[in-house]
Amino acid sequence: MNPLRLLAAATGMPGLLGTRRAAAPYSLSGVRGTAPAPDRPRTRPRGRAWADLLRVSALFTVPGDALAGAAAAGRRPDRGTALAVGASLCLYEAGMALNDWADRDEDAVDRPHRPIPSGRISPAAALTAAGVLTAAGLALAARAGRPALAVASGLAATVWAYDLRLKHTPLGPAAMATARSLDLLLGAAATGRAGDFAPASPGRAVTAGTPGASAAATTRTGTGAAGKPGPAGPVAAGGPPARTTRPAAAPAAAGRTAPVRTPRSTGAATVRPVRAALLLGAHTYAVTEVSRHEARGGSTAAPLAALAATAALGAAAARDRPVPPPGSGERPTATAHRLLRTALAAAYLRTAATPLLHAALNPSPPLTQRAVGGGIRAMIPLQAALAVKAGAPLNGLATMALVPLARKLARKVSPT
Per-residue b or e along 201-222, where b marks 16 or more CB atoms closer than 10 Å to that residue's CB: eeeeebeeeebbbbbbbbebee
Q: Is residue 250 in a domain?
A: no
Query: Taking the mean position of all CA atoms in its chain, how far away is CA 200?
Result: 35
Domain residues for the domain of 83 are: 46-193+268-321+333-410
Quick check: is 137 in a domain? Answer: yes
In tens digits, the chain (416 residues) has pLDDT values of 454 454 445 444 444 344 333 333 333 333 333 344 444 444 457 788 999 999 888 899 999 999 999 999 999 999 999 999 999 999 999 999 999 999 999 989 888 999 999 999 999 999 999 999 999 999 999 999 999 999 999 999 999 999 999 998 999 999 999 999 999 999 999 998 644 433 333 334 333 343 444 334 333 344 444 444 444 443 344 444 444 444 444 444 444 444 434 444 445 567 899 999 999 999 999 999 999 888 777 789 999 999 999 999 999 998 876 444 444 444 555 688 889 999 999 999 999 999 999 999 999 989 999 999 999 999 999 999 999 999 899 999 999 999 888 888 877 787 77
Does a structural domain hold residue 261?
A: no
Residues 6+ apart with CB under 8 A from 400: 344, 347, 380, 381, 384
Q: pTM for this one?
A: 0.71
H runs (alpha helix) in 191-298: 213-216, 268-291
160 to each of 8, 83, 165, 184, how far by Cα in Å?
A: 56, 21, 8, 18
Q: Is residue 27 part of a domain?
A: no
- The answer to whether the CB of 355 falls within 8 A of the CB of 373 is yes
Please indicate, yes or no, if residue 53 is contained in any of the structural domains: yes
Note whether 65 and 383 are within 8 A (CB). yes
CATH code (residue 308): 1.10.357.140
How large is the angle between the packed helices 63-72 and 379-389, nearest 10 degrees? 20
Does some domain include residue 4?
no
| Domain membership flag for residue 387 | yes
Q: Contact 216/252 with Cβ under 8 angstroms?
A: yes
Domain count, the chain: 1
Cα gap 237→411, rounded to integer Å: 64
Please indicate, yes or no, if residue 16 is contained in any of the structural domains. no
Nearest to 270 by CA among 185, 386, 167: 185
Residues 6+ apart with CB under 8 A from 324: 330, 331, 332
